[in-house]
Amino acid sequence: MSISGEIFSEQQAKAVDTLGEWSKWLIGLNFAAGTGCMVILEAGVSALIKPYLVGAIFFLCLSILMSVFIFLSLPAIIQSLPIRHPSKNLMSIYEYKIANQISMKWLLAAQIGSLILGFAFLLLWVMLKPAHG
């Protein structure tokens, strides 16, 4: 491996570490937001806006599951470093395919999409809930 290959491998390792930290942070954020939604749901909300809270909980939980799946995939990525493509040589960890099926890039995009949808449903609930007065 050339010196540039070693540097690239180190960059890949740093990217994996950052991805692991991001996944842990996102799990905590989603868990806190989802728990808050559950507390509000248990306290009782109108039937017209209840679907927004349920939608928020669903998408936040989906984002947690994707975060866990990403986090569990990191050891396999670390063992594969440096990640190489037969024709492109060295490549990004985001091109890594989990179980030769799903790219890390796609999984991260779906994770962020779920997070955005969860918070969008939460925001809709906040905007539509009746004012107390």
Question: How many angstroms from the chain centroid is the CA of residue 27?
Answer: 8
The number of C-alpha atoms within 13 Å of 133 and in the hemisphere containing its C-beta is 3
Q: What is the total count of domains within the chain? A: 1
Residue 132's pLDDT band (cuts 50, 70, 90) = low
Domain range for residue 115? 3-128
* pTM score: 0.82
Look-up: residue for tokens 């996944």? 23
Helices (H), the chain: 3-43, 50-80, 104-128
Per the model's pLDDT, the better-predicted residue between 117 and 129 turns out to be 117
pLDDT value for 86: 67
pLDDT value for 41: 87
Average pLDDT over residues 83-96: 75
Residue 133 in domain: no
Residue 96 in domain: yes
The DSSP call for residue 129 is S
